[in-house]
A and B are shown apart, each in its own frame.
Chain A
Amino acid sequence: MKTTYRECVRQALREALLRDPRVFLMGEDVGRYGGCYACSKGLHDELGPERVRDTPLSESAFVGAGIGAALGGMRPIVEIMTCNFSLLALDQILNNAATLRHMSGGQFEVPVVIRMATGAGRQLAAQHSHSLEGWYAHIPGLRVVAPGTLADARGMLPTALADPDPVLIFENALLYNLEGELPEGAGAVDIDHACVRRPGSDVSLVTYGGSLPKTLAAAEVLAAEGISAEVLDLRVLRPLDGAAILATVDKTKRLVVVDEGWRSVSLAAEVVARVAEEGFFSLDAPPVRVCSEEVPIPYPKHLEDAALPQVPKIVRAVRQVLHG
């Protein structure tokens, strides 16, 4: 079936709402407006304002309310328009959602799902272009996932809702228009494992989310040069699937990590550190990271492009690990 990433998200939301009366969706303009990325279009009219609930611009209050409602027996899906605004709710996510199980000695749980758009690339300038999934992946108590394919956009939500712990879903805004085939009857997928999206033997490209299409495109360019790149999609940013990372590096002996987060103290740094600690002797060359430059994202296209991971940069990085 031909569809889009956006439609996969929408179908997943609809199915979740229809299946479980404890599930409700809330966020800014998710109801009548249909979501600022149109991910909930039509759901308000179909299911009503109780189940598809518009909130005021009060990120801290409605994210906290989602956490509280989860604590109270519901299965809320909270949409934060973009991760840029999640900073206003960071206290609730970090100090409540992530800690309640532990602080209460395991008495309470917070089965909330928080979805948000992430990423740059649309000339929205510094305050609207953050990639904060790596920050959230730093936090014990959260599960952080980044659907990079249609099947994951469709299938991660039901699994996240079934999880007894808080799950954050990061949807790269550039993926919403992604088109492709979704198998008939596609449904829940696991949120534990990374996945090899393209097998290869010369180098491992480890990535996730919005960088996945770029990385696959780079692998295509490399194939034309006779270089066989394996592309590993992390899918789950916390807890990381360390075994899958080590397995691909063990196979190819070379590692390039592609991550739209800033380079220093990043998710990419964590991947490289894991390989350094546990897979050091399988490496034939120093790993290379392709990340965002250490600058708030600038507005002009030429500067924004230069600040972000791009196919030519990934290709150059691969040549570097292969040829020094």
Chain B
Amino acid sequence: MSELTRERGLRLLREMLRIRRFEERCAELYQAEKIRGFLHLYIGEEAIAAGVMPELLPDDAVVATYREHGHALARGVAMNAVMAEMYGKWEGASRGRGGSMHIFDAATRFYGGNAIVGGGLPLAVGLALADALQKQSRVTACFFGDGAVAEGEFHESLNLAALWKLPVLFLCENNLYAMGTALERAQSQVDLVAKAASYALPAARVDGMDVVDVGDATRSAVAAIRRGEGPRFLELVTYRFRAHSMFDAELYRTKSEVATWRARDPIALLRARLDLGEAAMAALDAEVVSEVDASVAFAEAGSWEPVERLTTDVYARRPP
């Protein structure tokens, strides 16, 4: 474990708190029917996005899943744009077309927001292939869940990336469940590091509740990838504190299991490590909450894209 400067610690804490407060507000806005469709919350898993993103350079690329609000925020996509996207407003990150599951942002090379399990992995391999062919020393960070490990895309992508020594950082967010299916009911080999390593790429397991560990592991993996050593795989062991989506009775796990993991809340863990008192925490929280408030105001004030524009952005050139 590297030495944790107070400055880095506070930055990480703020980032996790931004994600937490943002999503708690999203859950309320979902109840209020301001946000519709599917909403998958990242609450409990914040240490991963918050830990990984500071280790990437602005020119690196990020590929994420439908549970990607935290990744977008930590990557630097403006909170206003993310919230407006949740509403489906024209001012949203994806102009409202995508919603919660499809946040895209070219400025930060944030390539979504993919709602097909495993769908992002081949895309990440391709982004990295483009970098390799163009002699760019950029890294593509690809996030996916434990469920994706069962899909062919996972296996095909790891093999291809390792075979061609492509600059991809595979980040498996193992929250122990794919919807209602526990890992051991979906995998013959539950050791995901062993599984990844079978494709001959270095793989490691990280405590996904410890944001500092996540950051440190990412830092060394990214450095190796940038040196041209090929892809790396990290399994980040974590837990989602909330339901899979807003339609989930959570009958597949016990309250005591959830409570055990909640006791390892990544925000509380870091706060304790920083020994941050009530007043300092409250002040930080107030700042974060006011940013969330502002994003809601921004989204509320946003506009609906005129319906006459329905078929825009299907092709570069409008069909005749």
- Hey, which bits of chain A sit against chain B, CB under 8 A? 28-29, 32-33, 36, 54, 56-61, 84-85, 88, 122-128, 293-296, 298-303, 306-307
Contact = CB atoms under 8 A, between A and B. Distances in A.
Given A124-B37, A295-B314, A299-B102, A29 B304 contact: no
Give the residue among B147, B180, B307 with the most A Cβ atoms within 10 A: B180
Contacts of A85: 116-117
A101 to B, nearest CB: 26
Give the residue among B118, B119, B181, B187 with the most A Cβ atoms within 10 A: B181
Contacts of A125: 37, 97-99, 101-102, 115
What is the predominant secondary structure among interface residues of chain B facing chain A? loop
Nearest to A125: B99
A298 B99 CA distance: 9
A299 B99 contact: yes
Contacts of B151: 57-59, 88
B187 A128 contact: no
B160 to A, nearest CB: 17
A29 B305 contact: no
B203 interface: no
B186 A56 contact: yes
Contacts of B251: 32-33
A127 B310 contact: no
Contacts of B117: 57, 85
Contacts of B178: 56-57
Contacts of A123: 36-37, 88, 99
Contacts of B101: 124-125, 127-128
Contacts of A295: 310-311, 314
Contacts of B186: 54, 56-57
Given A56-B150, A299-B102, 19 more contacts: A28-B179, A32-B251, A54-B181, A54-B186, A88-B118, A88-B151, A125-B98, A293-B310, A294-B319, A295-B314, A298-B97, A298-B310, A299-B37, A299-B88, A299-B96, A299-B98, A299-B99, A301-B36, A306-B307
What is the predominant secondary structure among interface residues of chain A facing chain B? loop
Nearest to B310: A306
20 contacts: A32-B180, A36-B179, A56-B186, A57-B117, A57-B181, A58-B150, A58-B152, A60-B152, A122-B36, A125-B101, A126-B98, A294-B311, A295-B314, A296-B314, A299-B37, A299-B98, A300-B304, A302-B304, A303-B305, A303-B310
Contacts of A58: 150-152
A133 B180 CA distance: 27
B81 to A, nearest CB: 14
B29 to A, nearest CB: 14
Contacts of B114: 127
A32 B249 CA distance: 12
B115 A33 contact: no
B115 A128 contact: yes
A294 B314 contact: yes
Interface in B279-320: 304-305, 307, 310-311, 314, 319
A294 B97 CA distance: 15
Nearest to B85: A299
Contacts of A299: 36-37, 88, 96-99, 102
B131 to A, nearest CB: 25
A85 B150 CA distance: 14
